[in-house]
């Protein structure tokens, strides 16, 4: 059976792609962020994941406002990047793991989740940037992308995303393959890109949320989507992906490492690595 070796949550701020492309990782503005990955790189070398399940949100590349599924999963042999994320060059296709994709689809639909199944899927910077930050020299593990709608109202509730993560975690552990699986969540933390609150950051809420991922993982599920937007900003609601990833680990988890840095392009940037207990 497959094993979930851990979960990672990380921001996918597009300007980080520019920093990578221009080799600005040690620039004083970006250094506190990229230095935060050193321990995670070491941990990934120790855990050696074969497959990564990626909870992310699409920004209008594969899905647009005229057709925005609440939950969508890729079941392709590979995933092409057609969005450079305002800085990072278009990357080579990412290898898929359709065997695990179809197993998750079967198991999760049995749990009454209605997934949009995509046998072709383009992935944007929400997927490519975290993969590049976690495996800067490659190669990357085979991937199963799962998109959660955090763009067009109505959004799924935090509790529903947590339940989805539980179902995905159970599905992964029941996959009849000897594989080491990492779960990755991308997006957040608090930020708002437009409107009267453009530039909004809520550090106390971010830190409480990071603490809760080990102390009280269902803490954020007590908030409605509207309340989460109020606390974190319009785009800060991307923490829904973090909740889904955390839920795959079960009730208890150990924090391996975290980093929190503000601001990166008027955004609160977070990183956390967790492993099941």
Catalytic residues: 125, 191
Provide the phi-psi class of 233: left if phi over 0, else alpha when psi is between -120 and 50, else beta: left
Rg of the chain over all Cα atoms, to the nearest angstrom: 17
The gap from C-alpha 208 to its chain's centroid, in whole angstroms, comes to 19
| Residues 157, 148 contacting (CB under 8 angstroms) | no
Closest CA to 126 of 14, 223, 220: 14
Determine the Cα–Cα distance for residues 82 and 123; give it in Å rounded to an integer. Answer: 7
């Amino acid at each position: 059976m497959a094993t979930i070796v851990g979960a990672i949550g990380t921001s996918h701020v597009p300007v980080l792609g520019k920093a990578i492309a221009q080799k600005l990782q040690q620039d004083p503005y970006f250094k506190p962020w990229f230095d935060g990955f050193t321990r995670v790189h070491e941990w990934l070398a120790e855990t050696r994941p074969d497959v990564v399940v990626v909870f992310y949100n699409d920004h209008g590349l594969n899905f647009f406002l005229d057709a925005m599924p609440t939950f969508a999963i890729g079941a392709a042999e590979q995933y092409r990047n057609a969005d450079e994320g305002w800085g990072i060059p278009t990357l080579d296709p990412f290898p898929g793991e359709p065997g695990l994709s179809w197993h998750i689809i079967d198991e999760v639909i049995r749990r009454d989740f209605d997934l949009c199944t995509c046998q072709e899927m383009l992935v944007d910077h929400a997927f490519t940037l975290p993969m590049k930050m976690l495996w800067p020299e490659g190669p990357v593990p085979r991937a199963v992308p799962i998109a959660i709608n955090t763009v067009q109202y109505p959004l799924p509730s935090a509790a529903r995303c947590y339940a989805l993560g539980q179902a995905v975690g159970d599905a992964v552990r029941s996959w009849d393959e000897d594989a080491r699986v990492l779960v990755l969540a991308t997006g957040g933390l608090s930020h708002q890109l437009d409107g009267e609150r453009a530039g909004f950051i809520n550090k106390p809420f971010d830190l409480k949320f990071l603490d809760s991922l080990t102390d009280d993982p269902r803490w954020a599920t007590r908030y409605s989507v509207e309340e989460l937007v109020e606390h974190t900003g319009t785009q800060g609601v991307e923490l829904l992906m973090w909740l889904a990833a955390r839920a795959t680990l079960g009730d208890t988890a150990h924090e391996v490492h975290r980093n929190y840095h503000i601001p990166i392009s008027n955004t609160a940037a977070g990183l956390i690595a967790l492993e099941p207990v």
